[in-house]
Amino acid sequence: MVKRNACIFISGSGTNLKELLKSSREYNFPININYIVSSTKKAKGLKFAKLYKIPFCILNLNKIISFEYLLKELQKRNISIICLAGYMKILNKKFINKFNKIIINIHPSLLPKYKGLGAFEKVLKNKERLTGCTVHYVNNKLDSGKIILQKKICVESNDSIQTLKAKVQTKEYRAYSESIISIYR
C-alpha cells in the first residue's frame, strides 16, 4: 500500500498521537506520520515524537512567520493530511485555506453537541445518558466540519469528569484510526 504522509498537531499529553503512531506502523494503515507540530514546548506528547524519532516543531501559528514556515515544511514533506489531536489553538482561516488538503480533528463529545472546551462538564451538568467522541473534517468554524465517525459511551450516574474522560478517550483511539482508514478506503 502507498501510504500518505501525515502531520499530527498536539498541545498536551498526546495519547491520541501515541495510538496513531502505533497504527501507522501497521503495513496496511494508510498513513505514515512524518511530522509533529506542538503549540507548546510543554506538551507531554512530544516525548512520543522523540521516542519514534519523528521530526517536530513548536509553533505559534498566530504569527504569520510561523504559519508561512509551517506551510513550507508541510509542502517539503509532501504532507497530505493534518490530524489535530488535542491541539488547543484555533487554526487560522488563512492556514486552512492555504494548506488546501485534508485536515481532521477529534473532539470529546457527540457533535454537534458541546463544541469547544468543557465537553465533559457540560455532559454531566445536563445529565446526558450518552456521550462519546467525534472525528470530523476541519472547516472555518469551530468543531463544525462534516462528521466522519462517532463512537458512543453510556454516562453512569456516578461518573465524574475523570471517569468520563477515561471512557471517551478509550473510544477515541479506535475512532481516530478507523476514520483515517475510512477516508482512504
128 binds ligand GRF, rule: CB under 6 A: no
d(C-alpha 24, C-alpha 107), whole Å: 21
What is residue 119's three-state secondary structure? helix
Q: Which of the following is catalytic: 107, 136, 151, 167?
A: 107
16 binds ligand GRF, rule: CB under 6 A: yes
30 binds ligand GRF, rule: CB under 6 A: no
Residues in a beta bridge with 154: 130
23 binds ligand GRF, rule: CB under 6 A: no
Residues 40, 115 contacting (CB under 8 angstroms): no
Number of other CB atoms surrounding residue 56 within 10 Å = 18
Interacting residue with ligand GRF among 85, 148, 149, 155 (CB under 6 A): 85
Shortest Cβ distance from residue 35 to ligand GRF (Å)?
A: 17
What is residue 6's three-state secondary structure? strand
Residues 177, 149 contacting (CB under 8 angstroms): no
177 binds ligand GRF, rule: CB under 6 A: no
Q: Which residue, 74 or 85, has its beta carbon nearer to ligand GRF? A: 85
Interface residues with ligand GRF (CB under 6 A) are 10, 12-16, 45, 85-86, 106-108, 133, 169, 172
